[in-house]
Amino acid sequence: MSRWQPNARGRLEQAALELYVERGFDQTTVAEIAERAGLTERTFFRYFADKREVLFWGQGALTELVTKHIADAEDSASPIDAVGAALRATGETFKGRREHARRRQAVIDANQGLQERELIKLSSLAVAMAEELGRRGVGDPTAKLTAETGVAVSKVAFDRWINASKDTDLAQVVVESLDELRALTAST
């Protein structure tokens, strides 16, 4: 096996996603992923704790990106505007990765354990957003409500983006989803 080819993480991620789509998550082994990527199982475990983490390894970076943008929002920004700006910033992370995101989500949607892991990821993101809003001086109930709302907007926007019939920009779909939320709350 050629262990000196570049981008081992990317090759492992691609191989895993291909196998998960072809065979199903539960029917795919780490050995098969490593073999498809032209790497060893040992190399796999240098990058991922287990085969689930191939789908979720970017969670820390995403949380860091979101919380940084909340922290960097203008002092005059409302809590939802700070969260909205942070969610729009995630769109850059996903540029050119819509098909990958679509395939990844299909694998998650087909497996209850992965769905649970996705919910844990989103819950952790909401906690981090609420904590960052708290550091901005937002009271606890408002920070939690805003963060949970931000996660809901993110989920809806992401689903719309991956299922759109034409190539769209995730940041724009986030803006549209936030605008719909504002219209909904303004009409009540």
- Answer yes or no: same fold for 8-51 and 58-186: no
- When the candidates are 1.10.357.10, 3.40.50.720, 2.60.40.10, 1.20.1250.20, the CATH number that belongs to 58-186 is 1.10.357.10
Q: Provide the token pair at 21.
A: 């789509």
Q: Residues 101, 106, 107, 112: is their CA dihedral positive or negative?
A: positive
Q: How many residues does the chain have?
A: 188
Tokens 């570049």 sit on residue = 6
- Among 1.20.1340.10, 1.10.3720.10, 1.10.10.60, 1.20.120.1200, name the CATH number for the domain at 8-51: 1.10.10.60
Q: Where does residue 169 fall: left (phi above 0), alpha (psi -120 to 50 degrees), or beta otherwise?
A: beta
- The pLDDT of residue 5 is 67
Exposed e or buried b per residue across 31-65, where buried means at least 16 C-beta atoms within 10 angstroms of its C-beta: ebbbbbbebeeebbeebbeebbebbbeebeebbeb
Q: What is the pTM of this model?
A: 0.89
Residue-range domain boundaries for the chain? 8-51, 58-186
Are 45 and 53 spatial neighbours (Cβ–Cβ below 8 Å)?
no
Is the pLDDT assigned to residue 73 strictly greater than 80?
yes
User: At a CB cut-off of 8 Å and minimum separation 6, what does 24 contact?
Assistant: 110, 111
Comparison of pLDDT for 151 and 92, the residue scoring more: 151
Condensed to tens digits (0 to 9), the pLDDT of residues 2-19 reads: 445 679 999 999 999 999
pLDDT in tens, 118-132: 999 999 999 999 999
